[in-house]
Amino acid sequence: MKRVTALAAAALALVLTACGSSENVTPQANSSSANTQPVSLTDARNKKIDLKAPAAKVVGLEWGVVESVITLGVMPVGVADTKGYTGWVSAEKLDATVKNVGTRGESSVDAIVALDPDLIITTTDESPAAITQMEKAAPVLVIKAADAKNAIPQMKSNFELIAQALGRSEQAKTVLADFDKKVADGKQKIADAGKAGTSYTMADGYKEGSTISIRMFSAGSLLGAVANELGLKNAWPDAGDPSYGLATTDIEGLTKLEDGEFLYIANDGDGGDVFGGDLAQNAIWKNLPFVRSGNVHRLADGIWMFGGPKSTEQFIDATVQAVTS
Amino acid sequence: MTQLTAQRPDELATAPLEPVRRVRVAGVFAIAAAAVVVLAAVHLTQGTSSVNAGDLLRLVIGQGTDNSANVLVASRLPRLLAGMLVGVALGVAGAGLQSLARNPLASPDTLGVNAGAYLAVVTFAAFGVSLPTLPAGGIAFLGGLAAAVLVLGLSAGGTAGPTRLILAGSAVAMALAGVTTLLMLLYKEETVRSFAWGAGTLVQTDLVAVRQMAPIVALGIIAALVLAPKLDILALGDDTASVLGVRVRRTRVWITLVTVMLSAAAVTIAGPVGFVGLVAPVLVRLIAPLVPGLMRHRVLLPLSGIAGILVVLASDVVLRAVLGGQAGVEIPTGIMTMLVGAIVLVWLARRFRDSGPSRQQAGGTGAGLRTLRTFWIVTISLSVLLVGALVFAMLAGDAFLRTGDIANWINGRSGRAITYVLDQRFPRVLSAVLCGAALAIAGATVQAVCRNPLAEPGILGITGGAGLGAVVVLMAVPTAGIWLLSGVAAAAALATFALVYLVSWRGGLSSDRLVLIGVGVSSATTAVITFVIVYTDPWNISLAMTWLSGSTYGRTLPQLIPVAVALVVLTPVIVLARRELDLLALDDDIPRILGVRLERTRLIALVGAALMTAAAVSAIGVVGFVGLVAPHAARALVGGRHARLLPVAALLGAVLVSVADSLGRTVLAPAQIPAGLLTAMIGAPYFVYLLWRTRAVKL
């Protein structure tokens, strides 16, 4: 029984030694410096959110959200998976001071609360129970993660909603106007190069063991929709899932594709280049029409596929260059 | 000697030495081979491209296109061959391990071999080391071997009895699987779908893996066949075998090496394809009464290999025939083998002859008598420990608080930040404690009623049924409240359990059959949960994590009401039945003689356990291991009387889940580790230690 007694003693010791308090309990003074107008908006849950002032200390739990916040000139105080963000999203850089608040799937409410944010921004993918908890600490703005029926307008309205919460709607107008101009310019360049109507496919892929999975960005995905706007024609026949417009296939499934441009995104820091490396010796891959005609293009690393206007502009640049070169 | 499933000792002893009816045996082989050929032919016509049977036929007569030839060579054949190789390797390995352990529940899955091999491979992948197939196979072999050596060491090379072997095996397997999931969670997040990853898939892009592993599998099979005659003699019992000149220890070492090698080769090719190694030999054993001689190992081993191929190919063919070629990419083959294997197992287990009353106590009989003083010391110590765990849980997190903060919070005097932190931490802490206690009580009850140390709500399909009900509700009604969720989870748990119970009922309830069918159904529910998530919401990682790994993340107080109610209402019912449980744990006859209404008591106790489990599952998802480990530990501490066992088990369960949850929120903060993974990682080593300490006592 010595063992049990020792354990009990240890537990008791723990309880007794960790006394004291880590904060001075003083009545909270109301922050009187209301610098701007109150903000009121309705989020993707149809929930009305009232802020006394535009949010300045923001925590972003999804990378697309984080990118948009930075684009609008606000550096978030906390971001889910900062390391992953740095590896996958190059459109907007994070300051070194930004705190990591956990993984994108289950971020740490403790860590978020410790930052004392004015606003937490997340997407409809977050679990409702976790959102309920976070709401006790700070207002939570929930944006719709994606909508395969309405990809570009969804991205834009998400951006506008975030801008509204930050009190930067004017800036958002400029950014979105630039975005529209980027699309129009890209379309022009593709038309000028005589490539309008070119059939294309956008994909990424990853290898697990000896298994290679390929993820296709259908016409309903954000990148697919943008490429359509540029005057290209998405060759992948299936619609993909209802929110992101993503479909999964294997190498055999690629035989459905006609000749055209094959665009893909890889990440050397995470997963490597499946199409350029692992598939190089594969008989099906080698004989796919676009591989034979040399129309396979790896887009630059760090173009986030589910991002805001700036990531999407990077994609436009990369695509226009790949298709017209 | 303990039998976990119905195989009569006399049958076991004589079957291998029955005369071989060559013609009938050859007939079985011919039928099996024909089935393989047919399935393989169908398998080749399925895929994501438009290449169909006609194209392939044209190819055969020399009129095919390059496209069909490429598809055949670079996609269809690799997948087919991978499936066949995995099937044969796992089938033979499973048969070898079952003979080694003298237990039809032994398999690469249940002995931790697959888990060990897979963890080794994933560890290398997680740290960014991309290995070619052959070294990866070597790593897998070492991982699988390490797990096997640990498991066999704990059971003195298997001589301490099959129950101990399986107990150690499942404990090690769960812990290893926990570590694997954790690694994938931490290092593979960006590439999504991590939860479907570990289920085993046959998608292949070339023949490299197959070509490099084929010689190893062939070597393994030949070695197994060389060992076959010795296995026949070993089946007579260690003493008899020794007398007959078999070096028992050496034979065991060899068969372990061979089976681990085969399992590792399969894992290297396709990941852990579940259940094949368990089901394939069982299939053969089940037709054995019809064909004398099948139990001879020179027949049993190759036939199990073919049965393994059939299980893998049939799963794949059915999946793609029903859901289309695309499904073969989206849904891991391992899910289907688990599902198909489970259904086959249940169907055949039902036809299995009854083994008669089992003479097995709920385990730890050697620790049966302890003084009342010991009980009080243990109970008080555990209560203090629980208070300590609770305080620790409230303090632990991203930022460690101090007890003064909690005092302030209780008195409503804490500052804004601390108030928020503790407000959200409190329901998580409470949910861990309540669910731990509920699962432990349910586990103790189920173990007594089933008189089987392996039995726990998870193994009887109750946990899986509840989880499945909850996931389906969430998919259909994403805004469902906790009562709808709990209600459906409870209904599904009861329905699943009723299914297990009714299917197992054949003029009486054999606890062996109950467990065997329970294992089948519970695997099926796990497979279906994964299937539902992969099919309807493939990118929703957090949902999957909650329901497959058990997480307190985002719990709020209202979500805890069902489990609290279940504890308050059902605990007295089970406590009232404590004496009946004592008797039930002994055997079937004594309770009858003493006038206990056996079936009624059983049913009430099991329904109580099912409801309690369902409440816990709807609060924090599927948490394994607590229901298994807590009652065992309690029995070791205070003996087998339920008046003492139940409170101690409940305390242990609460402490276990609470500590697991605290660590999950702290160790890698701000990243959050699901509590269920940590209960396996904390509970399993303790359980292993328990087995090690009591290795002189026959379980």
The tens digit of pLDDT for each residue in A1-19 reads 455 455 555 545 444 444 5
Contact B305, B277 (CB under 8 A): no
Contact flag A284-B71 (C-beta cutoff 8 Å): yes
Q: How confident is the model at residue B643 (pLDDT cuts 50, 70, 90)?
A: confident
B203 touches chain A (CB under 8 A): yes
- Cα separation of B66 and B54, whole Å? 14
- Cα separation of B196 and B335, whole Å? 9
Contact flag B49-A252 (C-beta cutoff 8 Å): yes
Copy the structure tokens of residue B496.
Answer: 């699943």
Q: How confident is the model at residue A32 (pLDDT cuts 50, 70, 90)?
A: very low
- Residue B487 amino acid letter: G
Copy the structure tokens of residue A67.
Answer: 């990118």
Nearest-by-Cβ selection for B538 from A28, A116, A241: A241
Contact flag B209-A210 (C-beta cutoff 8 Å): yes
How far is the alpha carbon of B112 from chain A, nearest alpha carbon, in Å?
20
- Cα separation of B538 and A208, whole Å? 17
CA distances from A128 to A123, A132, A144, B2, B562 (A): 10, 6, 13, 48, 19
Neighbours of B277 (CB within 10 A): 37
- Residue B565 amino acid letter: V
Residue A217: its pLDDT value, please?
93
Residue A250: its pLDDT value, please?
84
Q: Which long-range contacts (CB under 8 A, 24 or more apart) does B580-586 make?
A: B580/B605, B581/B445, B581/B448, B581/B449, B581/B605, B581/B642, B582/B448, B582/B640, B582/B641, B582/B642, B584/B448, B584/B449, B584/B451, B585/B361, B585/B362, B585/B447, B585/B448, B585/B451, B585/B640, B585/B642, B586/B361, B586/B451
Residue A31: its pLDDT value, please?
40
Residue A254 has pLDDT above 60, yes or no: yes
| Placement of tokens 């059971």 in the chain | B155
Contact flag A103-B413 (C-beta cutoff 8 Å): no
Residue, of B17 and B244, whose pLDDT is higher? B244
Instruction: Pick the closest to residue B503 from B527, B495, B587, B7 (CA basis).
Output: B495
Q: How confident is the model at residue B309 (pLDDT cuts 50, 70, 90)?
A: very high
Query: Which residues does residue A297 pair with via DSSP β-bridges, in sequence order?
Result: A263
Residue B343 has pLDDT above 70, yes or no: yes
Mutant choice from A7, A106, A212, A265 vs B, greatest count of B C-beta within 10 A: A106
Nearest-by-Cβ selection for A105 from B380, B414, B542: B542
Mutant choice from B420, B430, B555, B658 vs A, greatest count of A C-beta within 10 A: B420
Cβ contacts (< 8 Å) between B204 and chain A: which residues? 210-211
Residue A15: its pLDDT value, please?
47
Contact flag A210-B389 (C-beta cutoff 8 Å): no
Residue B544: its pLDDT value, please?
67
Tens digits of residue pLDDT in A190-244 = 999 998 999 999 998 877 666 777 889 999 999 999 999 999 999 888 888 888 8
Residue A16: its pLDDT value, please?
45
Q: Which of A128-137, A306-315, B543-552, B622-631 has the highest mean pLDDT?
A: A306-315
B443 touches chain A (CB under 8 A): no
How far is the alpha carbon of B458 from chain A, nearest alpha carbon, in Å?
25
Nearest CA in chain A to B127: A270
* pLDDT averaged over every residue in chain A: 84
Residue B507: its pLDDT value, please?
67
Q: What is the mean pLDDT of residues A132-140?
A: 86
Tens digits of residue pLDDT in B444-481 = 998 888 776 667 787 778 888 888 998 888 888 777 77
B304 touches chain A (CB under 8 A): no
Q: Which of A73-87, B53-67, B550-564, B577-591 has the highest mean pLDDT?
A: A73-87
- Cα separation of A126 and A110, whole Å? 16
Interface pTM, i.e. ipTM: 0.75
Instruction: Pick the closest to residue A298 from A280, A274, A279, A278 (CA basis).
Output: A274
| Placement of tokens 């890698």 in the chain | B668
Q: Which of A14-18, A53-57, A130-134, B502-506 has the lowest mean pLDDT?
A: A14-18
Contact flag A108-B546 (C-beta cutoff 8 Å): no
- Cα separation of B132 and B209, whole Å? 9
Residue B19: its pLDDT value, please?
67
Residue, of B542 and B91, whose pLDDT is higher? B91
Nearest-by-Cβ selection for B384 from A11, A25, A279: A11
Q: Which of A29-43, B408-422, B564-578, B602-616 has the lowest mean pLDDT?
A: A29-43
CB pairs A-B closer than 8 Å = 261
Residue B55: its pLDDT value, please?
82
Q: Which of A256-265, B298-307, B365-374, B638-647 has the lowest mean pLDDT?
A: B365-374
| Percent of chain B surpassing pLDDT 90 | 17
Residue B134: its pLDDT value, please?
75
Residue A209: its pLDDT value, please?
62
Neighbours of B595 (CB within 10 A): 7
Backbone φ, ψ for residue A107 (5° rounding):
-80, 160
Residue, of A28 and B388, whose pLDDT is higher? B388
Q: What is the mean pLDDT of residues B396-410?
A: 80
Nearest CA in chain B to A81: B671
Residue, of B370 and A191, whose pLDDT is higher? A191
Contact flag A251-B133 (C-beta cutoff 8 Å): no
How far is the alpha carbon of A39 from chain B, nearest alpha carbon, in Å?
23
Cβ contacts (< 8 Å) between B652 and chain A: which residues? none
Residue B367: its pLDDT value, please?
45
* pLDDT averaged over every residue in chain B: 80
Q: How confident is the model at residue B363 (pLDDT cuts 50, 70, 90)?
A: very low
How far is the alpha carbon of B485 from chain A, nearest alpha carbon, in Å?
13
How far is the alpha carbon of A25 from chain B, nearest alpha carbon, in Å?
6
Contact A137, A107 (CB under 8 A): no
B403 touches chain A (CB under 8 A): yes
Q: Which of A30-44, A67-81, A294-308, B672-686 has the lowest mean pLDDT?
A: A30-44
How far is the alpha carbon of B128 from chain A, nearest alpha carbon, in Å?
8
How far is the alpha carbon of A189 from chain B, nearest alpha carbon, in Å?
33
Copy the structure tokens of residue B204.
Answer: 């292949």
Residue A23: its pLDDT value, please?
57
Q: How confident is the model at residue B158 (pLDDT cuts 50, 70, 90)?
A: low
Q: Is the preceding omega at residue B104 within 30 degrees of 0, hence cis?
A: no
- Cα separation of A56 and A36, whole Å? 11
- Cα separation of A132 and B554, whole Å? 8
Contact flag A19-B385 (C-beta cutoff 8 Å): no
Q: How confident is the model at residue B594 (pLDDT cuts 50, 70, 90)?
A: confident
Residue, of B361 and B327, whose pLDDT is higher? B327
Q: Which of A34-38, A258-262, B345-349 has the highest mean pLDDT?
A: A258-262
Residue B361: its pLDDT value, please?
42
B14 touches chain A (CB under 8 A): no
Copy the structure tokens of residue A7.
Answer: 């354990």
Nearest-by-Cβ selection for B553 from A10, A106, A285: A106
Residue B471: its pLDDT value, please?
85
Residue B203: its pLDDT value, please?
76
Residue B543: its pLDDT value, please?
67
| Percent of chain B surpassing pLDDT 70 | 84
Residue A172: its pLDDT value, please?
93
CA distances from B183 to B125, B127, B583, B616, B680 (A): 9, 9, 44, 26, 14
Q: Enter the pTM of the model.
A: 0.79
- Cα separation of A180 and A195, whole Å? 20
CA distances from A176 to A63, A73, A162, B481 (A): 19, 14, 13, 39
Nearest CA in chain A to B137: A209
Instruction: Pick the closest to residue B492 from B461, B450, B533 (CA basis).
Output: B461
Q: How confident is the model at residue B260 (pLDDT cuts 50, 70, 90)?
A: very high
End-to-end CA distance of chain B: 10
- Cα separation of A215 and A236, whole Å? 11
Tens digits of residue pLDDT in B105-123 = 778 887 888 889 888 888 8
Neighbours of A12 (CB within 10 A): 15
Q: What is the mean pLDDT of residues B310-320?
A: 90
Residue B13: its pLDDT value, please?
43
Residue, of B676 and A34, whose pLDDT is higher? B676
Q: What is the mean pLDDT of residues B289-293?
A: 81
Nearest CA in chain B to A117: B417
Contact A157, A285 (CB under 8 A): no
Q: What is the mean pLDDT of residues B396-417?
A: 79
| Percent of chain A surpassing pLDDT 70 | 87
Residue A182: its pLDDT value, please?
95
Contact flag A8-B268 (C-beta cutoff 8 Å): no
